[in-house]
Structure 1
Amino acid sequence: MSFRLAACAEMIYGELPLVERVQRIHGQGFEVELWDTRNRDIPALAATGARFSSMSGYFGGSLIDPDSADRVVESAEKLIPTALELGVERMVVHPAELGDGGVSVRPLHRSTGQMWLTGLRTLERLGRLGERHGVVFALENLNTVLDHPGIPLARAKDTLALVSAADHPHVRMMLDLYHAQIGEGNLIELVRGAQPWIGEIQVADVPGRFEPGTGEVNYSAVAKALAGVGYSGVIGLEAAASGGSGVAAGDKALSAFRDAFTVEVAQQQN
């Protein structure tokens, strides 16, 4: 069994211009994940013929802050035309506003009931927006230990609770297993419990945030667990190549990624 595999064009083949990265990823049979699409050559990206699985779905405000949640929805609406031009399926949002390097714009280390309610209401609004335009908004979990300190409701169990409470077909979870491994662990039970709400999965090994096989995570076991619960959606490599930014290193990283998430039928049945 093979999943739909994608690669994040922002993190691999770093020596190439973005359009060439997309062309190389697409040429090897992978779908493409993008981050911020503002100030990008969207027609050139569309002309590559690549299938774009996800992109950043907002550029301002905090989903859980009543004073700035409107900005999340407003910025998401402004990005809809780009998503439609590229054929993007999922627009990614986060529990709070991220600045440069993924740092929290307003660090907070405790969640409140108001944050929960605001997050839920904002996701419901995004669900209605997505339904009107035929896209899904995917709430991504983050780790607050290493990469994104000061972001409330960022753990996978929190984002899963918000998405399931919103209970809208155009609101799903971007389940990032790299972040979950750092912050929570127990990945196989996590994917089993989250399966009904997953829109897309992102992976990278820990430590280092490189391709599978370079760290501690047994991604082959995770792949079998995903196959076992019937997941057949997108799994995206949001990782740098362990060998560097060159083309050969990127090719090797994508090959290792493909190998980790190719599950034999006999293995699946066991």
Structure 2
Amino acid sequence: MYTLAVCAEMVFLDQPIEERARRIHDLGFQVEIWDWTRHDLAALERTGAAFSSMTGYVRGSLTDPDGAAELVRTAEESVRVAQRLGCPRLNLHGTGLDGEGLPVRPVTGPATGPMWIAAHRTLTRLAELGERTGTTFTLENLNTAVDHPGVPFATAADTMALVAAVDRPGLRMNLDLYHAQIGEGNLIDLVRRAHGQGLIGEIQVADVPGRREPGTGEIDHPAVARALAGLGYDGTVAMEAWASGDSALALERFRSAFTP
């Protein structure tokens, strides 16, 4: 059976991040965070929470040599923090995102051939770093229509192709079904294809529209949960969603949706 986690950046927003982590932990979930540089790491350690994922870089990009060098350098810093927090997965995107989720280095149009080659080389270096340190890097698909315009390698198809091409255990997909629903749809088939190729490191969920907890929009999350159970998926399913109202109730709706 898979493990459930909740992103502390998006729930219990009236409380400091360490208290959010403690509340999530006390409710029986693992905890995810984004940019570790914004948080008091000692306070997070004291929560006793099990941290399942965090952002795996501070700056950088997959598309050009300078951005790739910065991404790898800050990934090395992130690995040390992940080891301190006992966090097994470090999340990646095609380029660094600002506070609004927009790309620091946006790309206009589809990624070019040289960009694909640069991304493959950089992800291979990150996979090797993960294997040396006992950490798994996960490449997350995003949507460019609503939340993240201008991010390269954003679609689930792109992330799947890159992870499959690198073909190393230190790199897997963070298959975000919220973003995939907006960009591509056909979620259960997507899950089956990615799982069948052994590419999934984590699955993230939120409902569409609004990026709220399961049960507030159009996605049939219980059907996704049944498909995951049928596949024997035993990784992590994380709610990366804003609470539509009470945060504790949002977590219970998430738990209910993913208890097949």
Distance apart, 1:59 and its partner CA = 1.0
Residue aligning to 2:105: 106
Distance apart, 1:114 and its partner CA = 0.8
Residue aligning to 2:96: 97
Q: Give the letter aligned to residue 199 of structure 1.
A: G
Residue aligning to 1:132: 132
Unaligned runs of 5+ in 1: 244-248, 264-270
SS in 2 for 1:55: strand
Residue aligning to 1:81: 80
Distance apart, 1:168 and its partner CA = 0.6
Is 1:262 the equivalent of 2:252? no
Is 1:227 the equivalent of 2:229? yes
SS in 2 for 1:100: coil
TM-score, normalization by structure 1:
0.93
- The percentage of aligned residue pairs carrying the same residue is 57
> What is the RMSD computed on CA atoms of the aligned residues?
0.9
Runs of 4+ with >4 A deviation: none
User: Residues 189-216 of structure 1, C-alpha deviation per residue, up to 9 Å, x if partnerless?
Assistant: 0000011111011100000110100000
User: Residues 69-114 of structure 1, C-alpha deviation per residue, up to 9 Å, x if partnerless?
Assistant: 0110000001221100100010001012222211012222221111
Q: Does the aligned pair in 2 maintain the 1:3–1:262 contact within 8 Å? A: no
Q: Does the aligned pair in 2 maintain the 1:212–1:257 contact within 8 Å? A: yes
Residue aligning to 1:194: 194
Residue aligning to 1:170: 170
Distance apart, 1:220 and its partner CA = 0.5
Is 1:236 the equivalent of 2:233? no
Alignment of 1:139-218 (within 5 A): 139-195=139-195, 196-218=198-220
Return the alpha-carbon distance in structure 1 between the equivalents of residues 88 and 140 of structure 2.
Answer: 15
Return the alpha-carbon distance in structure 2 between the equivalents of residues 240 and 100 of structure 1.
Answer: 16
Q: Does the aligned pair in 2 maintain the 1:219–1:261 contact within 8 Å? A: yes
Is 1:123 the equivalent of 2:123? yes
Q: Does the aligned pair in 2 maintain the 1:63–1:97 contact within 8 Å? A: no
Residue aligning to 1:6: 5
Distance apart, 1:235 and its partner CA = 0.5
Q: Give the letter aligned to residue 238 of structure 1.
A: E
Return the alpha-carbon distance in structure 2 between the equivalents of residues 144 and 47 of structure 1.
Answer: 37
Q: Does the aligned pair in 1 maintain the 2:207–2:219 contact within 8 Å? A: yes
Q: Give the letter aligned to residue 255 of structure 2.
A: R
Q: Give the letter aligned to residue 191 of structure 1.
A: V
Return the alpha-carbon distance in structure 2 between the equivalents of residues 229 and 164 of structure 1.
Answer: 19
Residue aligning to 1:252: 249
Q: Does the aligned pair in 2 maintain the 1:55–1:92 contact within 8 Å? A: yes
User: Residues 207-238 of structure 1, C-alpha deviation per residue, up to 9 Å, x if partnerless?
Assistant: 01101000000000011111111111110000
Return the alpha-carbon distance in structure 2 between the equivalents of residues 81 and 104 of structure 1.
Answer: 25
TM-score, normalization by structure 2:
0.97
Q: Does the aligned pair in 1 maintain the 2:61–2:105 contact within 8 Å? A: no
Return the alpha-carbon distance in structure 1 between the equivalents of residues 3 and 226 of structure 2.
Answer: 14
Q: Does the aligned pair in 1 maintain the 2:203–2:236 contact within 8 Å? A: yes
Unaligned runs of 5+ in 2: none
